[in-house]
Amino acid sequence: MNLLSRKTGILVAGLMIVVSCKGPDQVTFMDPQGVPPMPDPKGYVCYRNSDRIAIDGNLSEASWQEVPWTDYFADIEGSQKPEPRFKTRAKMVWDDSCLYVGAILEEPHLWARLKQRDTIIFYDHDFEVFIDPDGDTHAYYELEVNALGTAWDLLLLKPYRDGGPAVFSWDIQGLQVGVHHEGTLNDPSDTDKGWSVEIKLPFSVLKECAPGAAYPVAGNQWRINFSRVEWRTLVENGSYAKEINPQTGKPWPEDNWVWSPQGRINMHMPEMWGFIQFSGLVAGQGSEEFRPDPDLPVKWALRKVYYYQTAYVEKFQRYARTLGELGLKESDFPKEAGTIQMQAGDRCFEAWAPSRLSQYPLSISADGRLEHRMPVSKR
């Protein structure tokens, strides 16, 4: 079976009961702790590049100068956490064949050790890119790069919470990475300014998980996010080393700073990522407004049912038959989401609600994938 094949049907075992979130169901299950706050995803309008970009880590080309920066990165959990110690921000442009990502990372101590591609790069300080072209939260890409320019690229068929797996042997054919240092790498005797990175991502690969396995066109939106991993370091015997927590005897946990906050310390929640909107305008030749996703309230309502059902089945070894049994009521969902319906058996469930962008409702099931609920004859 092709690695990217998708389940086209919904399997439901046992007796199924269709209910509405407006029904007077008795509450028997309380809010699971893992549910993050409703996302407020960032949006970025990506303009077409106006000149050839050399992938050398220097963001000096006219295209880079003419497009906006993202907001500065924040803590992965959001504004309730302290601001990152060092600043990070990114830019994007595109052409017919590739997506280009550039970023600048403030860093007073340039440090990197890993030189072998596809090693676990976040053991160093790193910059990370996550892309889910069709926004269904399954079959998405992760790329990590350190200050040496070493890359780790992998394909996630599902998030880890849904059983993965991660395909570590998968590579982005044609990937190019360039880094530039404002300082001296692995030299603790001085204070550095930071590093910048340029990444060239061919659409010939990224399209594999895109709607219709097609290249993007102007007006398309993909889900995307960026992350930065930063470790506490100190100098030992003239070299950098990770700072040890004396209470555990292990390095302090890494900091995770991101463009669009996740609400939890977990990058593998694609429903929380931001959006890239591909513009037909050339960089510097006009501007375009970002269009928020009108189905975001519906998607969040369905994801909330998924979160609750996942916690419920872990506790009771079966899925709840009704929203009320989950402890969910109409006021727990965004008003714009409309009526949420659900059917369930012991081993699986499906919830759905009307979409504002399609005649077919949006649905979610036990595997966590978000999709349009097509008639049986069209599945």
CA atoms of 149 and 110, how far apart (whole Å): 13
Number of H helices, E strands in the chain: 4, 22
DSSP 119-174: S-GGGSSEEEEEEETT-SSSSEEEEEE-TT--EEEEEESS-GGGT--EETT---TT
Residues 159 and 54 in one domain: yes
The arithmetic mean of pLDDT across residues 169-176, rounded, is 96
- In three-state secondary structure terms, 366 is coil
Residue 258 sits in a domain whose CATH number is 2.60.40.1190
Percent of the chain past pLDDT 70, that is, above it, reads 90
The mean predicted confidence, pLDDT, of the chain is 91
Host H or E run for residue 343: strand 341-344
The arithmetic mean of pLDDT across residues 239-261, rounded, is 96
Is residue 256, in this structure, part of any structural domain at all? yes
CA dihedral 184, 69, 132, 288 (to 10 degrees): -160
Residues 92 and 180 in one domain: yes
Asked whether the predicted pLDDT for residue 20 surpasses 90, the reply is no
Q: For the segment 277-315, what is each residue's pLDDT rounded down to a tens digit? A: 999 999 999 999 999 999 999 999 999 999 999 999 999
| Nearest alpha carbon to residue 151 among 224, 201, 223, 87 | 201
Task: Show which of 282, 308, 329 is a domain's final residue.
Answer: 282
Asked whether the predicted pLDDT for residue 10 surpasses 50, the reply is no
| Confidence band, pLDDT 50/70/90 cuts, at residue 374 | confident
Residues 91 and 211 in one domain: yes
Is residue 338, in this structure, part of any structural domain at all? yes
Q: What is the reported pLDDT for 376?
A: 57
Give 185: exposed, middle or buried? Use CB within 10 Å, 0-12, 13-18, 19+.
middle
Mark residue 121 as left, alpha or beta (left: phi above 0; alpha: psi -120 to 50; beta: remaining).
alpha
Q: What is the reported pLDDT for 375?
A: 73
Q: What is the reported pLDDT for 27?
A: 36
Asked whether the predicted pLDDT for residue 6 surpasses 80, the reply is no
The arithmetic mean of pLDDT across residues 228-234, rounded, is 97
Is residue 320, in this structure, part of any structural domain at all? yes
Residues 149 and 199 in one domain: yes
Q: For the segment 22-47, what is each residue's pLDDT rounded down to a tens digit? A: 333 333 455 566 788 999 999 999 99
Is residue 10, in this structure, part of any structural domain at all? no
Q: What letter represents residue 307's amino acid?
A: Y
Task: Show which of 259, 282, 305 is a domain's final residue.
Answer: 282
When divided into structural domains, the chain yields a total of 2
Is residue 167, in this structure, part of any structural domain at all? yes
Asked whether the predicted pLDDT for residue 14 surpasses 50, the reply is no
Cβ contacts of residue 231 below 8 Å, gap of 6+? 124, 125, 242, 243, 251, 252, 254, 255
Q: How many other β-carbons are positioned within 10 Å of the β-carbon of residue 372?
A: 15
288 and 45 Cβ atoms separated by less than 8 Å = yes
Q: What is the reported pLDDT for 379?
A: 52
Q: For the segment 69-102, what is each residue's pLDDT rounded down to a tens digit? A: 999 999 999 999 999 999 999 999 999 999 999 9
Q: For the segment 53-75, what is each residue's pLDDT rounded down to a tens digit? A: 999 999 999 999 999 999 999 99
Q: Is the dihedral of CA 201, 52, 43, 87 positive or negative?
A: positive
Residues 131 and 181 in one domain: yes
Q: For the segment 270-287, what is each residue's pLDDT rounded down to a tens digit? A: 999 999 999 999 999 999
> Locate tokens 């040890």: which residue?
244
Asked whether the predicted pLDDT for residue 16 surpasses 50, the reply is no
Q: What is the reported pLDDT for 377?
A: 57
What is the domain range of residue 194?
Answer: 43-282
Query: Whole-model pTM above 0.85?
Result: yes
Residues 78 and 50 in one domain: yes
The arithmetic mean of pLDDT across residues 243-262, rounded, is 97
Is residue 4, in this structure, part of any structural domain at all? no
> Locate tokens 């007006």: which residue?
219
Asked whether the predicted pLDDT for residue 200 surpasses 50, the reply is yes
Residues 174 and 278 in one domain: yes
Q: For the segment 89-141, what is each residue's pLDDT rounded down to a tens digit? A: 999 999 999 999 999 999 999 999 999 999 999 999 999 999 999 999 999 99
Q: How many other β-carbons are positioned within 10 Å of the β-carbon of residue 214?
A: 11
Residues 180 and 316 in one domain: no
Q: Two tokens at 244?
A: 């040890």
> Locate tokens 């340039």: which residue?
110
Asked whether the predicted pLDDT for residue 18 surpasses 70, the reply is no
- In three-state secondary structure terms, 305 is helix
